[in-house]
Amino acid sequence: MKHHILSRICVCCLLLLTSLTACQQEARQTTAVNRLPAIMPDYTGTVLPPNIAPVNFRVLEPGSHFFIRITGAQGQPILIRSRKPDIRIPEKPWRALLEANRGGSIDISVFVKNGNQWHRYAVISNDIAEEEIDSYLSYRLIEPSYVNYSILGIYQRCLENYKETPIYTTTRQDDLRNRHCINCHTFQNHSTDEMFFHVRGGLGGTIFVHDGQIEKVNTKTDSTLSACVYPSYHPFLPKIAFSTNETRQTFHSRDIQKVEVVDFASDLVMYDIEKHEIRPILCHTSQFETFPTWAPDGRSLYFCCAQSVLPDSISDQDDYLAYHYQDIYYDLLRIAYDPETDTFGAVDTVLNMSSRKSSISFPRVSPDGKYILLCISDCGNFSIWHKQSDLYLLNLEDGQLQALWNVNSPETESFHSWSSDGRWFVFSTRREDGNYTRPYFSYFDRSGQAHKPFALPQKKPAQTVGRFKSYNLPELMTEPVGISQRTFDGVITGPAMPAAYRP
Amino acid sequence: MRTSSPTSESAPIRHLLPVCRTVMATGILLFWAWYNADVIFKTQSHTLFLLDGDFFRDMLAQPAGLLRYVSRFFTHCGYFPLLGGLLLALLWLGVETLQARALHLPDWLRPVSCLIPAVLTAAQTYAGYYIYTSYDGSLLFGLPLGLAVMYTQIILLRKLTIQRGGLWTGLLLTTLTYGLAGSFGWIGGLVAAIYAWCKLPARRAVLWTAAALLAAVVLPLAAYRFVWYAPLHVCRYAPLPDSSTPEAVAALAVAAVCTALLAAAVRIKPQKDLYRLALPALVLGMALCFLFSFRDTNFRAELRMQRLLAEGAFDEIIRRADRLPQPSRAVTAYRAIALDYNGQLGNALFRIPYTYTAIPAKGKVPAEVVHEREFSLYASCINNCYMVTMTQVVNYGLRPADLQFYALCALFNGEDNLAVKNLSTLGKTIFYRKWAAEHAAYLSQSEDFLSHPVYGRIASAMSDENQLTNGNANVIEFYLRLKQGERLLFERHLMDCLYLKNLDAFWARAPRIPDLFDEIPVHIQEALALIGIVDGEDISAYHISPAIYQRVESFIAQTGSFGNNFEAARTALESTYGNMYGYYYFFRSLLDTESEQPEPGESSVN
């Protein structure tokens, strides 16, 4: 019986080998097409991390048979034969090939049989970086809607494979009192030992993970505009700079940018995780301060700031802003901070964009402190709904502002975060369909050049476009969050500790 | 008399029944494939089977909470097309068996009764979605589960005898069933009660009904509280719920009456053949349940308004629409039509500083009712409606019909990439493939699209102007634009400019005024006069009443006489010029006007 099974297996293997060889031979008799094949996602001419999951793709060229050959200067080539245009690259050989060609490049040859003729397209070449990308990506999956207290969650995805697991998801859509939204998941130095996220709605509060403990804090005080909103962990102190924002959202009646999110007021505060204290940093009524971000040395806090356009007498701010939201421009400012004495110093303007009728949002300082990656759009601060929003790089050493033309697209580019070593950054973009955000990664080399980005690899290539969820706030992490949903849920459903306000 | 039972089937029925059941199960399976559209759900990332313990306990503390929890759990199975279809088919097969046993259906009726699940499934998906305001996707599984509980309850109630406690056991059982399955509990009681009523002698029936009514006031609530909630409360699982709502009291009262009647019936020797009446009774019960739970006041209002519109009862339409707390788009449209006929649309649409005289519209809105789908589609292409619809999708799941709708919106808005995404997903479904292929030809707003009898008309009526908005005024505007032209839309823009004291924007739009108004509204005349007098602009192209012009002139002159004494001018001029735009412009803030909006229906004169 055993012999019988063994012989069957041998026959199958032989047939498979024969067909593959025949296919290769057949593919050799090809017509050359002097252009790159159309593939989706676009994994052509980019730089890939050596630890990335296989970049499965769909061949968009018409054909009935597909043959793919992935080769490098080192390592075993990968041969894939498929009757479907979806090409799935086997994980183990892929990993071995990338490892063997670390710092080099790999070539992807695409052969498509259309009718009786095989077509050989120009070889796709991708570089493999020396530096690995942080292994995990966290994001919130949410419909591009305007209010959602039902089914949404913060997830983490291992970039070395396709495993996606929930960090926390809401499941209380039937519980009208306790339905809640979750947002702004943030980590200190890309590690999950120190992290937090906000809970809004029925079970509102901010969930902090600190020193192995989880606690829920109500960061709204009588002296602040709102509960804490946009965060930035201090690089080494148990403190977080937050903005507090009075935010409204309205809709464009016709513009396909759909939603306009506008701040009517915003301030900066500092939250001390251990003392549960909030104290003001900047609270000017005539200015909107928001999007704080620490320099890696912890001695400067960068933030965006706009002049208020609201006259004092205006009570119906929604209507007023219906005509004036386009007049709000944010500049990039910086305030000095002394970690030893815990005191803030002078404020200076780093980049003035309001004079150019443009607006800055989401500044993020690179881990080496040399650059700031930021978004520039036509107005306001909620760049995710502005198609004009693009990524720019500000060189802090020479003050040069450079648009990342090979990274940007005609659609929105918005939230972004650096990897722990600063060699990669991830950003959200709506380049696929204009509505659903997707994370893209770009290699940032030592000379300060950002390279052509690539999409988050998916097991099914169609998922890149097809998923009816937006990837919100992509953040790179060096390790996964180890706390269970149930543990988070226990804290979320419990009482919130009130934060104290210290003027 | 021959007693029918599910086990005593005649030969033809014995052959027919399995066929009918197979057809029913297969039908449900296929229907699920259609409804579910597996491709769509596969692309979703619903967190499956993460209904945590706290959520379970919270659900348990509500009437029918357990049923809803289990059905939601089953709904998650439904994200897998085959598993969902199989589960649904099996559930309905089980319900059919229980139904036969509970109602003692005659043999000939059983194959026919197989149709009921299919009809109910359909009603709970497409029809249910459009009829119920708050359609819950889990009803798809909740309905067969609830019916299973109900039929089991009927079977158990039938078997109860006086030796087992009769009335009291019946009460307890119905109460528990209500807790488990909500309304199904008392529907079961109702069915059994109808049977009981049929077989009780009149005197006893009256007696037992009176006793049951008395018991219904106290016992069910008490039993419900203590039997169902008390243990949960003691275990700190859930707070005591508010079971004193009218619905709960009514349901419990009906359940108690039914149970008491049933117990009374059981006390006498049952005449089993009268159970044949139970099936029509069930239909009646379901109809009552439907009416009882049917809370879509908008839908009812729409039906009524259709008739009222035909009768020309515009005041009644407005009155009914104003009474609705959250009027639907269709109701809003009917209200707009009625207001337009009454010449009040200007007042209703525009948030004016304090007074405004509406000028009757140039062309009346045609009396024919806009086709609901056309109107919905049109209105939803406006982004706020689009986004609201998206929120519904978040709550209830993305169905092919939703995706179809989004594809159309994308086509109207010229978002080709999004349209391609939606159409390609629809193209992978079973029943929408053809539709998707047809509509792929409409990309880039092709000639075919613009010449389409419906799409073309809507596309041509889409506004070119963009503005920020929160309310549903846009829906009305677009309705008007679709049906009447753009005068009112333009008028609203002018009034917004005046309201925000943005005379520059107002003046920029002013050149179109003579073409669009037979008679310029008073406030617009006042604003034009103000611009002419203060800014020295040439306003000769506009027909401004001499009286209005002189009044504005006089106001300006008197204002100047107060110098910098703002408060004195404000107080002194209010009685004479308080209703003039110039006074608003100089002396009032938006805050003042917020509190002085005229009440609805209050006439406004200038």
Spatial CB neighbours of B449, under 8 Å, sequence gap ≥ 6:
B411, B441, B442, B455, B456, B459
Alpha carbons B486 and B465: distance in angstroms, whole number: 11
In SS3 terms, B64-88 reads as CHHHHHHHHHHHHHCCCHHHHHHHH
A123 and A160, same domain (yes or no) = no
Query: A251 and B387: CB-CB below 8 Å?
Result: yes
- Nearest alpha-carbon partner for A110 in A43, A52, A22: A43
Please count the other Cβ atoms lying within 10 Å of the Cβ belonging to residue A45: 14
Q: Is B152 helix (H, G, I), strand (E, B) or coil?
A: helix
Listed by number, the residues of chain B in 39-78 with a beta carbon closer than 8 Å to a beta carbon of chain A are 40, 43-47, 50-55, 58-59, 68, 72
The whole-angstrom distance between A353's CA and the closest CA on chain B is 24
* pLDDT tens track for B520-578: 878 888 899 999 998 888 998 898 989 999 999 999 999 888 877 878 888 888 888 87
A312 touching chain B per CB within 8 A: no
Residues in chain A within 8 Å Cβ distance of B414: 256
> Which distant-in-sequence residues (6+ apart) come within 8 Å of A208 by Cβ?
A195, A196, A214, A215, A216, A217, A273
pLDDT in tens, B425-467: 888 766 678 889 999 999 987 888 888 877 877 777 666 666 6
Q: A52: closest CA among A474, A454, A446?
A: A454
Tokens 């930035």 identify what position?
A: A232
Tens digit of pLDDT for each residue in B166-194? Answer: 555 666 666 667 666 666 665 666 666 55
B595 touches A at CB < 8 Å: no
Average pLDDT, chain A: 88
> Which of A315, A321, A462 has its CB closest to that of B594?
A315
Residues A140 and A123 in one domain: no
The distance of B137 to chain A (nearest Cα, Å) reads 11
> Which positions 325-364 of A are in contact with B (Cβ < 8 Å)?
325
Last residue of a domain, one of A99, A128, A157: A128
B543 DSSP 8-state letter: -
The answer to whether residue A17 sits within a structural domain is no
CB contact under 8 A, B415 and A144: no
Q: Predicted confidence band at A398 (pLDDT cuts at 50, 70, 90)?
A: very high
Same domain, A334 and A210: yes
Q: Which residues of A touch B469 (CB under 8 A)?
A: 250-251, 253, 322
* Domain co-membership, A48 together with A87: yes
Judge: A174–B54 Cβ closer than 8 Å, yes or no.
Answer: no
Residues in A touching B382 (Cβ below 8 Å)? 251, 253-254
Distance CA B395, CA B393 (A): 5
Nearest to B43 among A171, A172, A467 (CB): A467
How many CB pairs below 8 A link A and B?
158
Confidence category of residue B288, pLDDT binned at 50, 70, 90 = low
Same domain, A246 and A334: yes
Could you tell me the CA-to-CA distances from A398 to A220, A359, A393, A401, A403 in Å, in that order? 40, 21, 12, 9, 15
Would the CB atoms of B466 and A255 count as touching at under 8 Å?
A: yes
| CA B171/CA B258 separation, integer angstroms | 9
Q: Is the pLDDT of residue A68 over 70?
A: yes
- Among the partner residues A144, A166, A253, nearest to B47 by beta-carbon distance: A166
Residue A10 lies in a domain: no
Q: Are residues A265 and A168 in the same domain?
A: yes
Is 90 exceeded by the pLDDT of residue A91?
Answer: yes
Same domain for A99 and A161, yes or no, is no
Cβ distance B68 to A174 less than 8 Å, yes or no, reads yes
* B259 min Cα distance to partner chain A (Å): 30
Q: A128, A146, A168: which is the final residue of a domain?
A: A128
pLDDT at B161 over 70: no
In a shared domain, residues A320 and A205: yes
**Are residues A423 and A482 both part of a single domain?**
yes
> A268: number of CA atoms within 13 Å, CB side?
25
Asked if B454 contacts B420 with a C-beta cutoff of 8 angstroms, the reply is no
Q: What span, in angstroms and rounded, lies between the C-alpha atoms of A202 and A225?
A: 19
DSSP state of A450: B
Residue B6 above 50 pLDDT? no
**Mean pLDDT across B249-253:** 57
Q: Is residue A160 part of a domain?
A: yes
- Whose CA is closest to B518, among B340, B367, B358, B342? B358
**Half-sphere exposure in the Cβ direction for B407 (13 Å, CA):** 25
- CA dist B60 and A453 (Å) reads 49
Spell out which residues of chain A touch residue B72, defining contact as CB-CB under 8 Å. Answer: 174
Look up residue A29 and give its two tokens.
Answer: 């008799």
The enclosing domain of A65 has a CATH number of: 2.60.40.10
d(C-alpha B264, C-alpha B202), whole Å: 12
Share of chain B above pLDDT 70, in %: 42
Least reliable range by pLDDT among A181-190, B144-153, B464-473, B504-513: B464-473
Whether residue A461 has a cis bond before it, omega within 30° of 0: no
Distances (CA, A) of B494 to B296, B503, B525: 37, 9, 11
CA distance B525 to chain A (A): 23
Give residues 345 to 404 of B whose Cβ lies within 8 Å of A: 382-384, 386-387, 390-391, 393-395, 398
Residue A132: C-alpha distances to residues A51, A53, A98, A159, B34 (Å): 6, 12, 11, 10, 45
For residue A463, what is the nearest residue in chain B, using CA coordinates? B43
Chain A residue numbers with beta carbons less than 8 Å from the beta carbon of B384 are 251, 253
CA A242 – CA A303 distance, rounded (Å)? 10
In this model, does residue B96 exceed pLDDT 60?
Answer: yes
Residue A66 belongs to what domain range? 29-128
Indicate yes or no: CB of A468 within 8 angstroms of CB of B40.
yes
**Predicted ipTM beyond 0.90:** no
DSSP count for chain A of H helices, then E strands: 5, 36
A151 touches chain B (CB under 8 A): yes
User: Nearest 5°: CA angle at B324, between B320 and B326?
Assistant: 145
Considering the domain architecture, whether residues A119 and A145 belong to the same structural domain is answered as: no
Mutate to test the interface with B, among A164, A254, A316 (most CBs of B within 10 A): A254
Report chain A residues whose CB lies below 8 A from the CB of B398: 468
Residue, of B517 and A141, whose pLDDT is higher = A141
CA–CA distance, B256 with B239 (Å, rounded to integer)? 24
Widest CA span in chain A: 91
Distance CA B462, CA B425 (A): 26
Q: Which two tokens stand for residue A205?
A: 């509060």
Tens of pLDDT along A11-67? 545 545 545 554 555 555 789 999 999 999 999 999 999 999 999 999 999 999 999
Residue in B52, B59, B394 closest to A143 by CB:
B394
B45 touches A468 (CB < 8 A): no
The overall average pLDDT reported for chain B is 65
Here the tokens at position A502 are: 């210290």
Does residue A249 lie in a domain region? Answer: yes
Q: Give the nearest partner residue to A254 out of B53, B463, B499, using CB atoms.
A: B463
Pair B578, B355: CB distance under 8 Å: no
| Contact: B45, A251; criterion CB under 8 Å | no
pLDDT single digits (tens) B135-158: 345 567 777 888 888 788 777 766
Minimum distance, in Å, between the CA of residue B392 and any CA atom of chain A: 10
Question: pLDDT digit string (tens) for A306-352?
Answer: 988 776 655 556 666 666 788 899 999 999 999 999 999 999 999 99
CB neighbour burial string for B59-73, b if at least 16 within 10 angstroms, e if fewer: bbbbbbbbbbbbbbe
Say if the Cβ atoms of B464 and A255 lie within 8 Å.
no
A4 belongs to a structural domain:
no
**Looking at the partner chain, which of A153, A433, A467 has a beta carbon nearest the beta carbon of B47?**
A153
Whether residue A386 lies within 8 A of chain B, CB to CB, comes out as no
Greatest CA separation found in chain B? Answer: 106
- Residue B445's pLDDT is what? 79
C-alpha distance from residue A304 to each of A290, A376, B74, B233, B398 (Å): 5, 11, 48, 51, 38
Check: CB of residue A322 under 8 Å from CB of residue B469: yes
A421-459 pLDDT tens trace: 999 999 999 999 888 999 999 999 999 999 999 999 998
Structure tokens at B324: 């609705």
Q: At what angle do helices B81-103 and B65-77 cross, to 10 degrees?
A: 140
Do residue B415 and residue A435 have CB atoms under 8 angstroms apart? yes
* Cβ neighbours of A190 (radius 10 Å): 18
Tokens of A355: 């004079």
Beta-bridge partner residues of A164:
A157
**Beta-bridge mates of residue A142:** A470
The answer to whether B327 touches B335, Cβ cutoff 8 Å, is yes
Q: What percent of chain A has pLDDT over 70?
A: 88
Q: Evaluate whether residue A186 is within a structural domain.
A: yes
Same domain, A124 and A140: no
The answer on A462 and A402 residing in a single domain is yes
| DSSP conformation class of B443 | G
Identify the pLDDT of residue B214. 46
Does the CB of B469 have a partner CB in chain A at under 8 Å? yes
Whether A430 contacts A436, CB under 8 Å: yes
Name the domain boundary from A128, A163, A183: A128
B431 touching A (Cβ < 8 Å): no
> What CATH number did the domain enclosing A284 receive?
2.120.10.30
Dihedral, B347, B351, B357, B358 alpha carbons, nearest 10: -40
Q: What is the CA radius of gyration of chain A?
A: 25
| Structural domains counted in chain A | 2
Calpha distance A337→B39 (Å, rounded) = 53
**Section B49-66 average pLDDT:** 64
